[in-house]
């Protein structure tokens, strides 16, 4: 193991010097990064100098393919059967449509990393202002924590089934420990590990699908399972689309070291889109299949073990190892976003690797404690988490993409992101904040879940299309607000 140290000190003028296209220069207290996947990343939230840009956009395919071939993706796909009671073919079509639609918006964020060289949520200052971005970043940290806790629950259950002597608590602890490597080591390590799990977990998912679909009892059950409804179909589409949209705050974190070029941005989009879509579709198909043949909807993992027989432990452990990498990514992103909140509170400070390590450890411990509260009725808790996630994520995604592609055309003064007064973007961008609130409000009439059903959703047989309404209407409101501001 090798690593570079980064001295943490008061931020210097050289730390925030830059142009609209390139951002800040390399801090005088840091040395250029060299090394391999075993080198701990010392860069944090500040722009990556062009001298340290590396890799190829095609590397993003394995990042997003490997990240999605996990047990949690399987559980998410099972919602099509367990919650929405769709027949297998209808459920798979809904999941396919949701992933292909949601993946477009998620992958559009991929070009922002090479262009600006900073983590995804740092860019939020360019749309909402330095202080206006605080609630957005805080909400996203909550999302990272929620997904990480979900990973620990599913990973703990998987270890309990495949390695019984370890038990549930031991399984959760094992997932936490294994997640530490990608979470602490950072960018290069995550890229290297996702290449490995793309192959291993992809093969495990395909094998599991073949085994289950080859079982005559399973096929008989699938033939008679479920009934198609518009509300169920749209519910499954929404779940799959949201799965993709939930990665939007992650995307630039894993593309910010790539060289900046127009062609590279296009390739980054395609690698991210197809990696994430293909990496999600097969696990979700497996989940929908297992949900239909599971006697009790919450017993997805025991059902998988039952059908796999003697090969079950091998497949399960492989997929759990995959989930530790995905979990490490959530914690890593959470630490970067938390660092940005700290930067806003102390704008004259420069926060390096040591601070990131401390925050990473704090998040891991907090998630471990939270996990112990999620062990009962996990499917219900997870479903409601996704519902909440949909409401708060959609307006941010719409505003971020409209501002980046149609308003700023990818050109920002990156140095302003780190200034106490917000630089060119000020402390608050009132139009963007108003549009965000409106984006949440316009979804309410279209929501349909166990807590609330809006009037429009009731008129459409409890069909939830809140995410589509939020995307479209928030985008329109933001475009109109920008045009009005230009006129005035």
Residues with Cβ < 8 Å from 201, sequence gap 6 or more? 66, 69, 70, 318, 319, 321, 322
Chain segment 244-257, per-residue pLDDT in tens: 988 888 888 888 88
Question: 203 or 466, which is more confident?
Answer: 203
For 323, phi and psi rounded to 5 degrees?
-70, -25
In the predicted structure, residue 484 carries a pLDDT above the cut 70 = yes
Q: How many helices (H) and strands (E) does the chain have?
A: 18, 4
For the residues 315-333, what does the mean pLDDT come to? 92
Question: 68 or 464, which is more confident?
Answer: 68
Q: How far apart are the first and last CA of the chain?
A: 58
In angstroms, the CA 187 to CA 172 distance is 24
Q: How confident is the model at residue 220 (pLDDT cuts 50, 70, 90)?
A: confident
Residue 371 pLDDT = 82
Instruction: Note the helical H segments in 294-377.
Output: 300-308, 312-345, 353-371
The pTM of this model reads: 0.84
For the residues 189-207, what does the mean pLDDT come to? 92
Per-residue DSSP letters for 43-104?
--SSPPPGGG----TTHHHHHHHHHHSSHHHHHHHHHHHHTT---HHHHHHHHHHHHHHHHH
For the residues 439-466, what does the mean pLDDT come to? 81
In angstroms, the CA 306 to CA 418 distance is 53
In the predicted structure, residue 166 carries a pLDDT above the cut 50 = yes
Q: How confident is the model at residue 375 (pLDDT cuts 50, 70, 90)?
A: low
Instruction: Note the helical H segments in 372-465.
Output: 378-402, 430-441, 455-459
Residues with Cβ < 8 Å from 25, sequence gap 6 or more? 14, 15, 17, 18, 49
Determine what percent of the chain is predicted with pLDDT higher than 70. 88
Question: 377 or 205, which is more confident?
Answer: 205
In angstroms, the CA 209 to CA 308 distance is 10
68, 279 contact by CB (below 8 A): yes
Chain segment 226-273, per-residue pLDDT in tens: 788 888 898 899 889 988 988 888 888 888 888 887 777 788 899 999
* CA 350 and chain centroid, separation: 26
Reference 36, options 193, 175, 178, 176; nearest CA is 193
State whether the Cα torsion 237-242-396-55 is positive or negative. Answer: negative
DSSP state, residue 111: G
Reference 365, options 219, 149, 220, 135; nearest CA is 149
In the predicted structure, residue 10 carries a pLDDT above the cut 50 = no
For the residues 88-110, what does the mean pLDDT come to? 92
For 409, half-sphere exposure in the C-beta direction (CA atoms, 13 angstrom radius) is 0
- Burial pattern 336-364, b for ≥16 Cβ within 10 A else e, equals bbbbbeebbeeeeebbbbebbeebbeebb
In the predicted structure, residue 476 carries a pLDDT above the cut 50 = yes
In angstroms, the CA 357 to CA 444 distance is 39
- The pairing of beta strand 23-24 with beta strand 2-3: unpaired
Residue 218 pLDDT = 81
Residue 111 pLDDT = 84
**Average pLDDT across the chain, whole number:** 83
In angstroms, the CA 283 to CA 306 distance is 17
Residue 483 pLDDT = 77
């Amino acid at each position: 193991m090798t690593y570079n140290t980064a001295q943490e000190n008061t931020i210097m003028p050289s730390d925030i010097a830059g142009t609209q296209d390139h951002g800040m220069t390399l801090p005088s207290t840091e040395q250029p990064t060299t090394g391999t996947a075993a080198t701990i990343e010392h860069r944090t939230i500040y722009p990556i100098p062009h001298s340290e840009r590396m890799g190829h956009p095609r590397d993003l395919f394995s990042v997003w393919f490997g990240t999605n071939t996990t047990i949690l993706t399987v559980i998410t796909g099972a919602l099509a059967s367990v919650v929405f009671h769709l027949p297998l073919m209808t459920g798979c079509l809904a999941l396919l449509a949701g992933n292909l639609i949601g993946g477009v918006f998620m992958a559009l964020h991929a070009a922002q990393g090479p262009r600006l060289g900073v983590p995804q949520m740092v860019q939020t200052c360019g749309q909402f202002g330095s202080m206006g971005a605080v609630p957005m970043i805080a909400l996203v940290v909550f999302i990272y924590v929620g997904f990480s806790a979900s990973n620990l629950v599913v990973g703990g259950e998987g270890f309990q089934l495949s390695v019984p002597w370890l038990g549930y608590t031991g399984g959760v602890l094992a997932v936490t420990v294994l997640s530490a490597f990608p979470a602490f080591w950072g960018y290069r390590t995550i890229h290297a590990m996702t290449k490995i799990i793309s192959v291993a977990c992809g093969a495990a998912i395909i094998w599991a699908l073949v085994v289950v679909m080859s079982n005559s009892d399973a096929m008989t059950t699938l033939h008679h399972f479920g009934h198609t409804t518009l509300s169920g179909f749209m519910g499954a589409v929404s779940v799959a689309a949201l799965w993709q949209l939930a990665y939007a705050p992650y995307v630039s974190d894993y593309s910010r070291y790539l060289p900046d070029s127009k062609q590279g941005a296009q390739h980054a989009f395609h690698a991210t889109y197809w990696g994430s879509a293909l990496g999600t579709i097969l696990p979700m198909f497996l989940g929908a299949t297992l949900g239909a043949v599971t006697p009790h909807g919450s017993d997805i993992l025991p059902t998988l073990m039952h059908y796999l027989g003697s090969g079950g432990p091998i497949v399960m452990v492989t997929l759990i190892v995959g989930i530790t990498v995905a979990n490490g990514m959530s914690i890593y992103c959470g630490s970067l976003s938390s660092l940005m909140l700290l930067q806003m509170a102390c704008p004259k400070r420069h926060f390096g690797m040591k601070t990131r390590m401390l925050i990473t450890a704090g998040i891991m411990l907090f998630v471990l404690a939270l996990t112990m509260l999620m062990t009962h009725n996990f499917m219900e808790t997870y479903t409601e988490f996704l519902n909440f996630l949909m409401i708060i994520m959609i307006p941010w995604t719409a505003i971020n993409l409209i501002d980046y592609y149609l308003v700023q055309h990818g050109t920002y003064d990156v140095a302003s992101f780190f200034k106490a007064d917000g630089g060119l973007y000020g402390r608050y961008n009132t139009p963007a904040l108003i549009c965000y609130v409106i984006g949440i409000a316009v979804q309410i009439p279209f929501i349909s879940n166990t807590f609330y059903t809006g009037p429009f959703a009731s008129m459409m047989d409890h069909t939830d299309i809140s995410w589509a309404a939020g995307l479209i209407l928030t985008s329109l409101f933001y475009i109109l607000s920008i045009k009005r501001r230009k006129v005035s």
